[in-house]
Structure 1
């Protein structure tokens, strides 16, 4: 069983608006509303890919009820802690004329210490039957930035594989707790290691730096694939995985689809290279859909033929 954790779950509105301009009145040509937040998006994709998954986190007020109801309608198993304050609503506006997306994400509810305690107990109970826990997304108000680190340490004691996808201080603390896998994008990775990247060599060095900070394995998602520092046969190996550029409907949630694909393949016992390739194919295929966490498994399988996987030697600047 795979568990996804979304502490700042949301209702996500995805709108397609041609020639979008600030300060103007517009009408949508396509729209989609769904339960969201990174962990929820990952759970949706995992369900579609045929893997057993339970989504958990916080859900509050009428919006929280709507989140739970929508997940249930999608046949996604879920077990959320109900909180007093209202869950958030996020809006993404995609302009098909130029391919640009504008995102407006609410901060989310404040969460009390008692509610946090209830969630921790629930997660550790659910984890008794889990092989992997994917912790993803931002934190609601009132939650300490080291909460993910604490959860990772407790889950590791229970023998559960931990995967983290967040940013900023929560990611910095989480890495020190030695999660099994971290999966930042380029901007999140630059913030974590403290410098910008100019090319693939810089990125390959950076994933090694992230491992040196504490993560067992690190994957940095890119627009055309990923770079990774993974353990293969007891040693560290670098990977550059890429797919040719393609026209997309919307890119929101591509990183979530990537991680869902990677997790699905890893849960199925695939090799490291195959897991990364499947993740890249899922991320690319998801850009064909308006809304996050949506993948078409047959289309993913077709895209696998377009994914190039390179296993590389460590860059000379890497001291691992």
Structure 2
């Protein structure tokens, strides 16, 4: 059986600290033991896929002692890794959880810088990994030194190896990546509006914009996240809206990555679009109901599927 490959070019150690009430410009005392987790979009997706018993390999770049810690943490979770080591130091992303206001503030470092040789090594490395890969998850920030079109290059390279890419990024990296025609994309509404350079106030407007992307760039699936409202799932043949669970949200960290992991799970299992929508939105909602960087399990998601409402557009 082929594996899912997650590519994280700029991973991080996520350091989560908890305060009673976060005071901007004031003194904040954290609870005694901060939580340290391997992070970055692809890494987070790999953690969730492991929970779902989907064969997964995490790859990308790592650097320094923080990178060694990240690899060790993933291996302790039973996640196979195949990262390229580069000079510098893997970044730390600070997540400040405000217990009183139930808000999480994120402070992310830029991370290490990669060279042309590092990028050449990545493409050669991926060529070997793709022989055993069915789907690829690509997303998150890009490291210093990488060209703005690196995702576009990676998507074109993956398509040459007949693997399906799911892109979850933002900004210029997303805009250029879309033009390479990945198999699926998962923008939020703001990111889609930025791409089409117009407001999309209704579901019909969102659906039309997504269908234009499908037509123009040969994308097979567009998932538009609407946050606590749910998400739209659009293919060339069908469109559905799935509302989110009614939950007491504790943290948005990892919710989108859980959705991506469940999209992959659903594709691997050949689920119909309506089922994919239900499973994916449920996964994001369950993770959002958890504290810090905790993510959903397959059992938790399955237990809440009947609470999701779906309608065809």
State if a TM-score over 0.5 links the two structures.
Answer: yes
Distance verdict in 2 for CA 1:293–1:244, change over 3 Å: closer
Match for residue 226 of structure 2 among 222, 226, 231: 222
Specify the alignment match of 2:144 in structure 1: 141
Conserved? CA contact 1:16–1:28, under 8 Å: yes
Specify the alignment match of 1:271 in structure 2: 272
Please tell me whether residue 16 in structure 1 is matched to residue 18 in structure 2.
yes
RMSD between superposed Cα atoms in Å: 1.6
| CA displacement at 1:96 relative to structure 2 | 2.5
Specify the alignment match of 2:162 in structure 1: 159
Unaligned runs of 5+ in 2: none
Specify the alignment match of 2:128 in structure 1: 125
The CA distance in 1 between the partners of 2:216 and 2:108, in whole Å, is: 30
| CA displacement at 1:54 relative to structure 2 | 0.2
Of 285-294 and 143-152, the range deviating more from structure 2:
285-294
SS of the equivalent of 1:79 reads: strand
TM (norm. structure 1) is 0.92
Of 17-26 and 203-212, the range deviating more from structure 2:
203-212
Specify the alignment match of 2:30 in structure 1: 28
| CA displacement at 1:31 relative to structure 2 | 4.0
Map 1:1-320 to 2 at 5 A: 1-29=3-31, 31-214=34-217, 215-223=219-227, 224-231=229-236, 236-292=237-293, 294-312=295-313
| CA displacement at 1:291 relative to structure 2 | 3.6
TM (norm. structure 2) is 0.94
Conserved? CA contact 1:258–1:279, under 8 Å: yes
Q: Please give the per-residue CA displacement for 1:36-59, whole angstroms capped at 9, x wherever unaligned.
A: 000000000000011000000000
| CA displacement at 1:188 relative to structure 2 | 1.6
Unaligned runs of 5+ in 1: 313-320
Aligned residues: 308
Conserved? CA contact 1:4–1:55, under 8 Å: yes
Q: Please give the per-residue CA displacement for 1:11-54, whole angstroms capped at 9, x wherever unaligned.
A: 01122322111122223347421000000000000000110000
Q: Please give the per-residue CA displacement for 1:124-158, whole angstroms capped at 9, x wherever unaligned.
A: 21111111011111100110111111111121121
